[in-house]
Amino acid sequence: MLQPPEKHEPTHKLGIGKAIAVLTSGGDAQGMNAAVRAVVRVGIFTGAKVYFVHEGYQGLVDGGDNIKEATWEKVSMMLQLGGTVIGSARCQDFRTHEGRLKAARNLVKRGITNLCVIGGDGSLTGADTFRAEWSSLLVELVKTGGITADEAKRSSHLNIVGMVGSIDNDFCGTDMTIGTDSALHRIMEIVDAITTTAQSHQRTFVLEVMGRHCGYLALITALACGADWVFIPESPPEDDWEEHLCRRLIETRGRGSRLNIIIVAEGAINKQGKPITSEDIKTLVVKRLAYDTRVTILGHVQRGGTPSAFDRILGSRMGVEAVMALLEGTPDSPACVVSLSGNQAVRLPLMECVQVTKDVTTAMNEGRFEDALKLRGRSFQNNWNVYKLLAHVRPPSTKSGYNLAVMNVGAPAAGMNAAVRAAVRIGLIHGHKMLAVHDGFDGLAHGQVEEIVWGGVGGWTGLGGSKLGTKRTLPKKYFEEISANISQFNIHGLIIIGGFEAFTGSLELVEGRGKYEELCIPVCVIPATVSNNVPGSDFSIGADTALNTITTTCDRIKQSAAGTKRRVFIIETMGGYCGYLATMAGLAAGADAAYIYEEPFTIRDLQGNVEHLTEKMKTTVKRGLVLRNEKCNENYTTDFIFNLYSEEGKGIFDSRKNVLGHMQQGGTPTPFDRNFGTKMGAKAVAWITGKIKECSRHGRIFANTADSACLLGMRRRSLVFQPLAELEEQTDFEHRIPKQQWWLKLRPILKILAKYQIDLDTSEKAHLEHITHKGVPVEATI
């Protein structure tokens, strides 16, 4: 896994004789520090010299102490810090020719020919201009005696790689920019807090979030909190929006809700391009409806705080990719941006991305709002369509005549309730009668089935656990009773939201179709488990929330270790045999090692880790963090590893252990899990509605083909339906994990960032892709 083919130069020698500078520019974003840390550590790992440029482009122009060589230890304890430790500044000097001349001299004098820029589109455009002028700047510097001809020759070309750090997620070509997920975390914390006070007083709250030219934060917030209305710059409301909004608020109150929430992006406009402010909306609601209305402008709170697990992993992965792109760069390779597409790292031509980003603003300025939405990419459009369905479409008066049942199976996972809510409401919009099954297959067997209406799932998106109740019981032993209840309640389709038991239980239902005709109905499984071990999906609902819980706990533990010095913590995570949580939390928390079942280890490996930590204690970083997946090895238990570390570390370091347990299944869902659950629920109902119609014969449903029982999963960039029968071959049933898992290829990064001398497999290189496809960016669909 770790050894690349012979033809590749070993990655730990790639940077010898080269120098890389890293700077953060423009507005700060949580996760920038993770990216800086990764650039520094991977740069040093390859043998390159790495320099910090403090205060962004201003530091590049001013030189002196602003450009300092970085060391491994200097980036320790940076992961969990918000903002940017090396500072950022808006720089006017760099916009001038003289400023860029000074910057070029400062780089040449230090032998730096590789520049990594973390910032927004303005910062990246500046970097591209700098690169284009590089040769002429050197000629001028030689002429004026600023540098020697020899120095110019050694620095003949400048490589530039960008990473996008922006909380607005306004850069085209990347699924998520660094900082967006953390900003959503801040927003949702506030929305959840406001919801409780609004309910107490039956208030309407207007919340203004950042996004001058991009409505991403506002849109995802609206989806994740079930807002009544959202205003975004890309899609202004119809001209009679005032009447529509008031009608909507009255309807929500009429259904028994005690609050209304309206989300406004700071750049919201009407069709004529005039701003729609939060105060305008408050005035309208008070004047027309006399509702008690309050405005909250979130402001810079959204930029602050600790980065989420996602942003830390994103920053770390992008940092690794940026160093590789710089060191593999040639004078002919264009300046590129490293970004994420689904779960793949990609490289995109920098100026193509900047151009499409500018095209969106141009389209909005010219009133071409349809084009603006298209240019934002499929992901944005999908989010917008789901929001419109849930917020603006009323259930029809004519019913479809179909009954859909929704249930949870397995252990609880945060985000399950968001998926149930979306499924119920989209089902009602399709005209179906929606049935809630309590306590999984057990409840289906014992008739715990009741009709659930629109108001029955109100406020569910932000609730952790499972409101329907969930059990691990499998259906096989209850086929008689389940068939009888499917018949009694006239169930035409079944949506099962849960973990590995939901998958195996549904396979049993399919198996039972031969004997019980009642089981011949369409079935859709939505993966929801903290373990992320369901085949057919890269992510499961609930895994992101669990990952953030583990990461936050590790932060606190590391802080305590930093205070006491010379202490190593061994932490046990959940996941069954699946090492996803241990590996990803290891990346997000900066662990020294993460033991998992998928990567077998021996006593020699454990010994090697102890020796590695012993060496670490001689540096300024006198603490260690080791994660262990609960079932990584039946003999090397958490107690065994703790005892081994305690014995071997005597006189050098203390050891402590911590079993995190069920706290990993609790808590309020993260914005990702709320949004993911909402979209999965909506998509599952649309699919099952089509399947019911397809399998309908003379008023009866008969579904017995393989594709009438599917699992809805996220694969790379898209949400796809896969027949359960096909997934059976891809599953290791004994250990309850998929045979192939995408995240295993991230493990070398974890080891390199923890200073292990291994080789990084670059055989699966991220090749340069192009962003535009017939004028519309190719982007993720989730």
CB atoms within 10 A of CB 190: 17
Check the annotation: does 530 bind a ligand: yes
Do the annotations mark residue 123 as ligand-binding? Answer: yes
Q: How far is CA 399 from CA 99, 434, 700, in A?
A: 69, 11, 16
575 marked among binding-site residues: yes
**91 annotated ligand-binding residue:** yes
> Is 472 annotated as a binding-site member?
yes
Phi and psi, residue 88, nearest 5°: -140, 150
- Alpha-carbon distance 508 to 505, whole Å? 5
Annotated catalytic residue, options 28, 62, 128, 168: 168
491 to 432, 436, 588, 620, 723: CA distances (angstroms) = 11, 11, 44, 64, 21
- Alpha-carbon distances, residue 743 vs 579, 740, 780, 782 (angstroms): 9, 9, 18, 18
Structure tokens at 771: 């962003």
Q: Is 629 annotated as a binding residue?
A: no
CB atoms within 10 A of CB 615: 10
199 annotated to bind ligand:
no
- 166 labelled as ligand-binding? yes
Is 488 annotated to bind ligand? no
The reply to whether 211 sits in an annotated binding site is: yes
Identity of the amino acid at 97 = H
Q: Vertex 310, ends 525 and 717: CA angle to 5°?
A: 50
691 near 522, Cβ under 8 Å?
yes
Do the annotations mark residue 567 as ligand-binding?
A: yes
For helices 309-328 and 180-201, angle between their N-to-C axes, nearest 10 degrees: 160
Kindly provide the b/e burial profile for residues 619-643, where b requires at least 16 CB atoms within 10 angstroms of the residue's own CB: eebbbbbbbbbbbbbeebebeebbe
Q: Is 37 annotated as a binding residue?
A: no
Does residue 584 have a known ligand-binding role?
no
- Transcribe 323-353 into DSSP letters: HHHHHH--TTSPPEEEEEETTEEEEEEHHHH
Q: Consult the annotation and say whether 664 binds a ligand.
A: yes
* DSSP output for 719-750: EEEEEHHHHHTTEETTTTEES--GGGGGHHHH
253 is annotated as contributing to ligand binding: no
Q: The dihedral of CA 547, 548, 554, 555: what is its sign? A: positive
Q: Token match 């030219």: residue?
A: 213
Q: Is 90 labeled as ligand-binding?
A: yes
The number of CA neighbours under 13 Å toward the Cβ of 348 is 30
At residue 654, φ and ψ (nearest 5 deg) are: -90, 155
Tokens of 210: 């950042």
Question: Quick one: tokens of 670?
Answer: 């993260």
Question: Is 96 labelled as part of a ligand binding site?
Answer: no
Spell out a b/e string for 72-97, using b for 16 or more CB atoms within 10 Å of the CB, else e: bebbbbbbbbbbbbbbbbebebbeee
Q: Are residues 684 and 426 in contact, defined by beta-carbon separation less than 8 angstroms? A: no
Phi and psi based region of residue 677 (left: phi greater than 0; alpha: psi -120 to 50; beta: remaining): alpha
CA 692/CA 695 separation, integer angstroms: 5
Beta carbons of 333 and 349 less than 8 angstroms apart: no
Residue in the structure block whose two tokens are 């520094």 = 40
513 is in an annotated binding site: no
Q: Does residue 300 have a known ligand-binding role?
A: yes
446 is in an annotated binding site: no
Q: Is 528 helix (H, G, I), strand (E, B) or coil?
A: strand
Distance of CA 161 to the CA centre of its chain: 22
Q: 500-512 and 479-488 are packed helices; what angle lies between their axes, rounded to 10 degrees? A: 80
Q: Is 624 one of the annotated binding-site residues?
A: no
* Max CA separation in the chain (angstroms): 91
Q: Report the distance separating Cα 698 and Cα 695, nearest Å.
A: 10
716 marked as binding residue: no
365 is in an annotated binding site: no
Give DSSP secondary structure letters for 608-665.
Answer: HHHHHHHHHTTSS--EEEEEEETTS-SSS-HHHHHHHHHHHTTTT-EEEEEE-GGGGG
Kindly give, in sequence order, each residue whose CB lies less than 8 Å from that of residue 716, ignoring residues fewer than 6 positions away. Answer: 341, 342, 343, 344, 538
The CA-atom distances, in angstroms, between 348 and each of 14, 334, 344, 761 are 22, 9, 12, 21
Does the active-site annotation cover 280?
no
301 is in an annotated binding site: yes
Q: 529: annotated binding-site residue? A: yes
Q: Compute the half-sphere exposure of residue 72: CA atoms within 13 Å on the CB side of its CA.
A: 16
Residue 425 annotated as part of some ligand binding site: no
Dihedral pair phi/psi, residue 7, rounded to 5°? -65, -20
Binding residues for ATP: 27, 90-91, 120-123
**Residues tagged in the binding site annotation for substrate:** 166-168, 203, 210-212, 266, 294, 300-303
Question: Residues annotated in the binding site, as ranges?
Answer: 27, 90-91, 120-123, 166-168, 203, 210-212, 266, 294, 300-303, 472, 529-533, 567, 574-576, 630, 656, 662-665, 736
Residues flagged as binding site for beta-D-fructose 2,6-bisphosphate: 472, 529-533, 567, 574-576, 630, 656, 662-665, 736
Annotated binding site for Mg(2+): 121
Catalytic residue annotation: 168
